[in-house]
Amino acid sequence: MAKKTIKDVDVKGKKCLVRCDFNVPMVDGVITDENRIQGAVPTIKYLLDRGAKVILCSHLGKPHNIFTPGFGLTKKEKKALEELPKEQQEEAKKAYIEKALKNDPIKFTLRPVAERLNEIFPGKVKFASDLVGEDAKAKVSELKEGEAVLLENTRFYAGEEKNDPELCRQLSEFCDIYVNDAFGTAHRAHATTAGIVQHGFAKVAVSGFLIEKELKFLGAAIENPERPFVAILGGAKVSDKIGVIENLIDKCDTLVIGGGMAYTFRKALGFDIGNSLLEEDKIELAKQLMAKAESKGVKLLLPVDNVIADSFSNDANTQISEGDIPAGWQGLDIGPKTIEIFAAAVKQAKTVVWNGPMGVFEFEKFAVGTKAIAKALSETDATTIIGGGDSAAAVAQLGYADKMSHISTGGGASLEFLEGKALPGIDCLNDK
């Protein structure tokens, strides 16, 4: 069912707890890419302009994981922690986290995000140095209509990822209306992404404009696409996208498979694939998926030629292979004939969903196929939906981003949505 948005509720004078995705890259406390901040601006502006009291929250990085490189744990400290009885480990972890944050307080704090938001909305955004503590309570109580406060990193609290009811209860004190605008975390049932609604503390729960847009494009592609509907899947492993393939076979007219996972399909067809990436235990599944596509009248396109290399390196010797791949060689990109076939499928489409590169995109020599697909999408009049990750990076690097209908903000969430799974952060929102 369609979900309510902030346009469906009266926000004036109401405390609106807004879950954003401010997980932005930073170097020494300086934001290096503010796309996610800009993505949240329309929702925040709408609420401020209509007199809401806006309480923003987000995670940043993985401060809960004290084994993350750069956190400053010595080998001795790590070993000592691992040897503690389980019931003592949680308290010990908290102590280590506090120590780490004192040593490197800039690394995981959202303060720079608050400062940037206060530039975008001059003088309207404050920062609270905790999530549900005294500073947060004080800053929220001081809010006037049309003002906002950004709470500190949600993942400083173990209860966030554990979906702890007590943390949800504390957050609910800041919440007349819950707004989820973080599609990138909507597949996680954490306290701030879904739990505050799931545990019954937030009765009014709606989406922001970012999630509304994701549902509009991804939802339409899955439920009611303009046809022909072409789905392009790449990436390394079949196992990562089994659910997506199975679901899309039921939805699309043409399914295009490239990337490393295509070699498992090639093997299932009886080709030798040399040293190419292979999931031996998925060969039978690949045969079943091909049979399913055929039975449903779905055209399944696989590479007919490949760029093969004698080593996994940008400096490797290469050649084009149309049949078996010789021993000692491996496929690292789709070949020129395949590019023509895949591009022709895009040209005929009215709706295209693309998730995953066609080759080893991080090596310039083997990024040709991925770039060609991006170019083909930029030249079509079809509705084009990019499912995040390397696909999004490709269209951005090549300057095609503004030519795409929609670039999803959530890699994992997009995949689960394309699989047909219910996303907790969306499922919990009020239906229209």
pLDDT for the residue numbered 257: 98
Cα separation, 333 vs 320, in Å, equals 10
Render pLDDT for 318-368 as a digit per residue (tens, 0 to 9): 999 999 999 999 999 999 999 999 999 999 999 999 999 999 999 999 999
Examine the pLDDT at 57 and tell me if it is beyond 90.
yes
**6-63+108-211 CATH:** 3.40.50.1260
pLDDT for the residue numbered 306: 98
Range list of β-strands (E), 108-204: 125-127, 147-150, 177-180
Active-site positions?
36, 237, 389, 412
Across residues 301-305, what is the average pLDDT? Answer: 98
User: In the block, which residue shows the tokens 């339409």?
Assistant: 220
User: In the block, which residue shows the tokens 């899309």?
Assistant: 248
Using alpha carbons, select from 13, 17, 19, 18 the residue that is nearest to residue 52: 13
Render pLDDT for 358-394 as a digit per residue (tens, 0 to 9): 999 999 999 999 999 999 999 999 999 998 678 888 8
Cα separation, 235 vs 245, in Å, equals 12
CA distances from 332 to 262, 273, 319, 347 (A): 11, 11, 11, 25
Question: Comparing 61-65, 274-278, 285-289, which segment has the lowest mean pLDDT?
Answer: 61-65
Measured N-to-C along each axis, helices 242-249 and 411-419 cross at an angle, to the nearest 10 degrees, of 40
Render pLDDT for 198-252 as a digit per residue (tens, 0 to 9): 999 999 999 999 999 999 999 988 889 999 999 999 998 889 899 999 999 999 9
Across residues 50-62, what is the average pLDDT? Answer: 95
User: Which fold does the domain 218-419 belong to in CATH?
Assistant: Rossmann fold (3.40.50)
Render pLDDT for 133-171 as a digit per residue (tens, 0 to 9): 999 999 999 999 999 999 999 998 889 999 999 999 999
pLDDT for the residue numbered 255: 98
Strands 53-57 vs 299-301: parallel, antiparallel or unpaired: unpaired
Please tell me the pTM assigned to this model: 0.84
Across residues 78-97, what is the average pLDDT? Answer: 77
| Distance, first Cα to last Cα, the chain | 7
In the chain, list all ranges with CATH 3.40.50.1260: 6-63+108-211, 218-419
Question: Comparing 55-69, 95-109, 167-181, 191-205, which segment has the lowest mean pLDDT?
Answer: 95-109
Q: What percent of the chain has pLDDT over 90?
A: 77
Cα separation, 322 vs 193, in Å, equals 48
Q: If you average pLDDT over every residue of the chain, what do you get? A: 92
Measured in residues, the chain has a length of 432
Examine the pLDDT at 104 and tell me if it is beyond 80.
no
